[in-house]
Structure formats: C-alpha cells, structure tokens
C-alpha cells in the first residue's frame, strides 16, 4: 500500500547521545509503510544532540491509532520534542534500484510500483 500520511518528529537533548525518536523501539505497527531515523550526537561540538524521525503511514487514521496505542511511549521530560504531520502535495512517484545494474527505475504512472 502506498503511504498517504507522513509524520516527522524532531527531538533535542543537551549533551550525551541523541534521543531515540519516540515510539521507534517497536518495529511493527498496523498501517506503517516505512520509517527512517537520523541521530546526531553532539552537533558541531555544541553539546546538543538531535534525532529526526520520519514515518510513512497507509492513512492518517493508522498513525493516530499508533499514537493512542499502549505501545506508544510517553515523551521524555528531559528532551524537547516537536512532532508534525505531513501530507503529499501530489501523486507519489515510487522509485527503486535495478537489481542487476543499480540504476534508478521509476514507475511511468504515479502511484504505481516501479518495474
């Protein structure tokens, strides 16, 4: 299923290591299409660590259900966090890599999977 809803979460903490994006310890969730996280420890020697997480959901309802679920973790009081939803502005164009030569391939019709 193609993603129709996206959540981005940015977390900041002074010193130490980058805070783990909220609720990312559990790898499976209903409606979750994909997720990626970036961890930045001690950004430019400023003693500030950051993490950025992007999750792609089949629907906004699936994302909301996960946030309400018992598996969702409460925010850490020592960490500043910002979470915001995002929606596609147009049809999603899926891309992949050729399994033989690694060139970029993409579907001719937006929303369809590449060959």
DSSP E strand boundaries for the chain: 5-14, 32-40, 48-57, 80-86, 95-97, 104-106
Tell me the per-residue pLDDT of 2-41, one tens digit each, with 9 for 90 and over. Answer: 788 898 888 877 766 655 554 455 557 888 888 888 887 7
> Ranked by mean pLDDT, which of 15-29, 39-53, 85-99 comes out on top?
85-99
Q: What is the pLDDT of residue 17?
A: 61
Residue 98 has pLDDT above 80, yes or no: yes
Q: Which residues pair with 83 in a beta bridge?
A: 9
CB 94, CB 2: distance < 8 Å: yes
């Amino acid at each position: 299923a193609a993603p129709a809803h996206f959540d981005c979460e940015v977390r900041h903490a002074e010193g130490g290591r980058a805070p783990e994006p909220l609720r990312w310890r559990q790898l499976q969730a209903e409606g979750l299409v994909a997720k990626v996280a970036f961890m930045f420890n001690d950004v430019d020697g400023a003693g500030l660590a950051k993490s950025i997480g992007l999750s792609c959901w089949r629907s906004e309802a699936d994302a909301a259900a996960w946030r309400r679920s018992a598996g969702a973790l409460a925010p850490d009081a020592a960490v500043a966090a910002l979470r915001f939803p995002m929606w596609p502005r147009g049809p999603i164009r899926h891309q992949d890599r050729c399994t033989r030569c690694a060139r970029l391939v993409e579907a001719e019709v937006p929303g369809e999977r590449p060959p």
